[in-house]
Amino acid sequence: MNETTTDTPLRKVLGDRTAKALATHLELHTAGDLIYHFPRRYDERGEQTDLRALEIGEQVTVLAQVQSVSVKPMRQRKGNMLEITIGDGSGATLTCTFFNQAWRERDLKRGRWGLFAGKVTDFRGKRQLNGPAYQLLSADATQDEAAEEIEEFAGALIPVYPAAQAVPTWVIAKCVRTVLDTFQPPADPLPAGVRANRNLVGIGTALHEIHRPTSKEALYAARYRLKWDEAFAVQLTLVQRRAKAAESPGEARPRRDDGILAKFDAGLPYELTDGQRTVGEEIAADLAQPHPMHRLLQGEVGSGKTLVSVRAMLQVVDAGGQAALLAPTEVLATQHFRGISQQLGALGRAGEIDGDPAGTQLTLVTGSLGAAARRAALGKVADGRAGIVIGTHALLYEGVDFHDLGLIVVDEQHRFGVEQRDALRAKASRPPHVLVMTATPIPRTVAMTVYGDLETSTLSQLPRGRSPIASHVVPPEKPAFLDRAWRRVREEVQAGHQAYVVCPRIGAGDDEEPPSDNEPARRPPLAVTEVAPLLAEGPLHGLRIGVLHGKLPADEKDAVMRSFAAGDLDVLVATTVIEVGVDVPNATVMIIMDADRFGVSQLHQLRGRVGRGTAPGVCLLVTESVEGTPARERLDAVASTTDGFKLSEIDLEQRREGDVLGASQSGRHSHLRLLSLLRDAKLITDARAEASSLVQDDSDLSNYPALAASVAAFVDEERAEYLEKG
């Protein structure tokens, strides 16, 4: 029989029909794709899956026995329903339903054991699998005999694979077994020295043991080796990228002692925090180097990142260059323009009657500018009069030409793609310095794995005078709490303060997802355009209420924000358009409706819009989630702390690791499957150290061609671009 390699098409090993199913439903095309489709967990021989531990919405595969069978006519439509009850011997049961498939009663006899796979749903308080895929074991098999049969089928440790309804886990297991019978593993790409240093098994052993483990110890060693491959590939890519950036030519923008920055610092009405000083020195030193800075600035909501970026921009202007601040929304870009203009004062109005001749000019470039205003702004950008240019995606358009772009500052970097940042970089005559900022604190392993090509600075200290924020969950089991929340808004307004009410969507029909056939319909998220009039006619009657969302015309959004900032509105009912950058110190209370529809980081960002002045802030998280549910636990965690770094760990625990690593963004099949940013911190750190050592001696891995090819396979072009986003 011919040997099977990672490049062998599955149709040559499994036949056209099976190969087509794997390709269509799981995007598995070659033997390598299948071999790297790792089990998500393992069941043990003789141990039954505990049905009591199943959660609603979970995709499961259970080994169970048919306990009862019945066929019932359906009341609301023609046909019948076959209903079986299965159990695992623990006393817990699960219902399986099949519509118009009464013929299955011939196989699903009482007492038969089988594997059943599907999504756990709830129907009238009973857990069920609707139309599950199943494979029955031999008729009249005892529990022990069933376990033996499964061992023969899948091994002592039974692999449970990520599957699809049309391709259940046992079909995948059979396919893997067939491929492994003739599989010739690739030459081991890891240098022998690394394998020896880290006590790693060979790649062939690892790939066999992860699918057909001979023992728990062998399985652990296999998983550890394959995790190492994933971490090492990513870290090599990032270390190489950082080394390349350090060697690329740029233009030094050293600090001047007698420039705009010095005047700006002298006129500040408050002292910089220790963190702002330290980070400022790090950035100043980077800007003075003759190669481009690539730095990530992360910091708590309200920690003063914008001020740090302004000082960096002024250093570049002092050195004869221009700085561009790229913001994700017009609301935020306009807010930055106003805020920085106010901070600079006369230093930002060079050429005007009341301007400082030693200063510079600011200009704002957004998509909603009129023709005349756009021409004026672009003229200042092109001839260099505007030292600081603030804008949205409009900065990327053709026709926006810089005189000498020296620094790009990207605010809330996760909202921009690689192409957008590259488009702005291309407007510089030489590679510019880049500072990317995020107010979402990033766990250390994420920073090392996703942003590992960037130097990282962190601001964790809040400026003096910032007020504490109290957070509370407003639960469904206590309706009076919501009434109290609206009274609290009225009390804050009567005390001269203002409030935000945040809703998950804009209006009826906006971003609604239809329920699936097997799930009960969920109430649509509350909408700004629906909630605002209800509040105006009800609990907030008589207060001045404004509405803000992303679909409003730019001039209307600007007018609403101006009114709110000026105190002409008492309450702003908004979407997450206010999530970042909006700074109204007089706002002291925020009510987030359907708070369970938001992520942890998003809730933390939103909460940071209050308590920005001297008066204490309060954030109320309104939810219908009951105690004990994951959604409620998430909200309770947010309410329990304002420490963004603690919340970032909670966020990471609750998100799919693949999303964090970028697999979902790449839109392509990825081999990154096993690495956990939470559990594998030491492994990632070790991989980073080995990668740094290797690249220091051999930057392009020319002495390790197999390793270079392996890295290219793990971190394909799209993933490399994702990792570059920083």
Same domain for 509 and 630?
yes
Same domain for 35 and 49?
no
More confident residue, 513 or 649: 649
Quick check: is 559 in a domain? yes
Contacts of 338 (CB under 8 A, 6+ apart): none
Q: So what's the pLDDT on residue 711?
A: 84
Q: So what's the pLDDT on residue 86?
A: 92
Q: So what's the pLDDT on residue 512?
A: 47
Q: Categorize the per-residue pLDDT at 663 as very low, low, confident or very high, splitting at 50, 70 and 90.
A: very low
Quick check: is 647 in a domain? no
Which of 193-202, 643-652, 682-691 is the least confident region? 643-652
Q: So what's the pLDDT on residue 718?
A: 45
Quick check: is 424 in a domain? yes
Which of 189-193, 448-452, 587-591, 609-613 is the least confident region? 448-452
What backbone torsions phi and psi does residue 220 show, to the nearest 5 degrees? -60, -45
Cα angle 187, 192, 194 (rounded to 5 degrees) comes to 120
Q: So what's the pLDDT on residue 22?
A: 93
Q: So what's the pLDDT on residue 712?
A: 81
Query: Of all residues in the chain, what percent carry a pLDDT higher than 90?
Result: 37
Q: So what's the pLDDT on residue 385?
A: 93
Q: So what's the pLDDT on residue 147?
A: 54
Quick check: is 198 in a domain? no
Q: Categorize the per-residue pLDDT at 394 as very low, low, confident or very high, splitting at 50, 70 and 90.
A: confident
Residue range of the domain that includes 227: 216-248+663-720
What backbone torsions phi and psi does residue 536 show, to the nearest 5 degrees? -65, -30
Q: Categorize the per-residue pLDDT at 668 as very low, low, confident or very high, splitting at 50, 70 and 90.
A: very low
Same domain for 271 and 412?
yes
pLDDT digits (tens, 9 = 90+) for 425-476: 778 888 899 898 887 666 666 666 666 667 788 887 666 666 778 999 998 6
The C-alpha atoms of residue 168 and residue 153 are separated, in whole angstroms, by 14
Is the pTM higher than 0.95?
no
pLDDT digits (tens, 9 = 90+) for 194-205: 999 999 999 999
Same domain for 339 and 454?
yes
Same domain for 313 and 431?
yes
Say if residues 437 and 294 touch (Cβ distance below 8 Å).
no
Q: So what's the pLDDT on residue 143?
A: 56
| Alpha helices per DSSP H over 460-524 | 480-494
Report how many domains make up the chain: 5
pLDDT digits (tens, 9 = 90+) for 307-322: 999 999 999 999 999 9
Quick check: is 654 in a domain? no
Exposure string of 30-57, with b = 16+ CB inside 10 Å and e = fewer, is bbbbbbbbbbeebbeeeebbebeebeee
Average pLDDT, the chain: 83
pLDDT digits (tens, 9 = 90+) for 482-541: 899 999 999 999 999 999 999 999 986 555 444 443 344 567 889 999 999 999 999 999
Quick check: is 193 in a domain? no
The C-alpha atoms of residue 435 and residue 444 are separated, in whole angstroms, by 19
- CATH number, domain containing residue 424: 3.40.50.300
The C-alpha atoms of residue 286 and residue 292 are separated, in whole angstroms, by 8
Cα angle 65, 66, 68 (rounded to 5 degrees) comes to 145
Most confident of 81-90, 112-121, 123-132, 206-215: 206-215
Same domain for 34 and 48?
no
